[in-house]
Structure 1
């Protein structure tokens, strides 16, 4: 069950700038979590820059850490309007090089209310701040724009029901185009963002007023159904008929509306024409899987056609196997011996088998 905690960030315990993962200690002012009577809680998750001493509200799930006890694993968060003291502390932190407490105080005093918004709108005013070099000034504005922009995007995506972790993936992929893509081409997310399923994109599209009969909706459903179908079966393709049936089921279950199968089939034809998917006879291939398989095939052909296979006498191989058995203190069965012989006598050999069937033991015999 999702709960919220509002309060002041007492301390940033850990932060990873590469993926925005942070661990915070929150001094609790308010919460709707029942039976939680502590005055502070550890907050974990992906989030943009946060400021110690400032007020935030975090939403998420309470989890039980084996070592550190109850923690809030967040799905989204919201920052209250930062105070002047909080901004001074933030600007003089390690996030901004070359800015000490005095310079940070000058910046806040110079811009007054809505400091961050004013800085981003009128960065030229920083030129009047004594002690702030042109290089540090440029880096300061750039970092502030990145962090603040990221936070604004995350807040917007949270309003659409997209959790922070997924929101960061979207932000990292589209950069400054994030909101434009999300709000105008939500189904593009299905093709570009791994882990973002059709349902999330479809819910977002519905909120934005995109009709259930929209061609882009059909295309996204086809792309998602194709990839998911391949993952479920272990194949690199689906039969066109099966793909259309599964896509119709997906589309009609996501939104309660009856669709014309011919319209979905038409969009499949468009995807094929645009090389978004590949077709061989009645089989439809996911692009990533098709080209991966084609790459493997071409490499195998290259290996098979390159030079002649060195001849190995079967009797010599069997003597070698007996020597390996003695050295390793093992006894190969007939199938394992045949596998070793086949591997040595052929340019390409594929060894398969479930856990505990002796694949490693066979490989040891091949390379010994």
Structure 2
């Protein structure tokens, strides 16, 4: 059984403090932690790693989690690291990437599909450089493409949502989904979520909305509130930086929310506890662990550039946040069912569908067919 407690994350304040330090270096030999497989991590000591953020930190999700991994490479593995926030102006990405590639970094980490085109265009010009592209299964010879099955994360979220509704609202079987964009990566969560909900009870409906932006908190608040007003008893929110709108809507309405990519409850419980009192859990892509495993795997030879890796439930990179609210708001029976589903996904007994294998017509039919 996968240990879901390993998915609980550290606070955003810790990350911010580390990032503000800019370029950090590891400590003495005694400070270098063993590699995750128990072997020595001496091969990592002194390596130079830079993370190019295709957006900004503070998303309480993808970027912050990756930053934790980068900072752990510095603090526990003795690497020299740097984080560069490039913002949302994609026209600047190529120049920044080429500038960094001309420098002496041992590993250049990029993330999300928004970096795919520019990185796959630039990397061949620097064949002696190694790159990690998180969330994209690239096969360019000097890129390690790391994919995370959002459909598996969504299926686990749907398992929680479906059982929560059956136990608490048997006369109103409606769930909700708020995504940042109507795009394949977000819809992969949706497909898994619908399947997870339907695996619990085929009669549960799922209403879907999209913010149309990665970072429009106000619109996310409005649209999530609409989902609740339309009857959704729990909403799943792969909403990127817009997620604070969903969290606020949950607090305002007193209805349940499932976060995405990072443990939003643990991020906010100390600073804004009223906002997260109805957050059941969050589905997690362990970008921090994936970043560490990608870097150390390349250096010890267990991973190779040009050969993409899928860091899924079986790999230990996908799961649910197990925190105080999960223990309090989600019944023991549901938690046991989640454990069972997790094992079945890991073993291959359950294979959720993926938006990446669907055409527009098939996806639309599934989405519309699930609506109340």
TMscore range, shorter length: under 0.3
TM-score, normalised on structure 1? 0.21
Q: Which has the larger radius of gyration?
A: 1
TM-score, normalised on structure 2? 0.21
Greater helix percent: which structure? Answer: 1
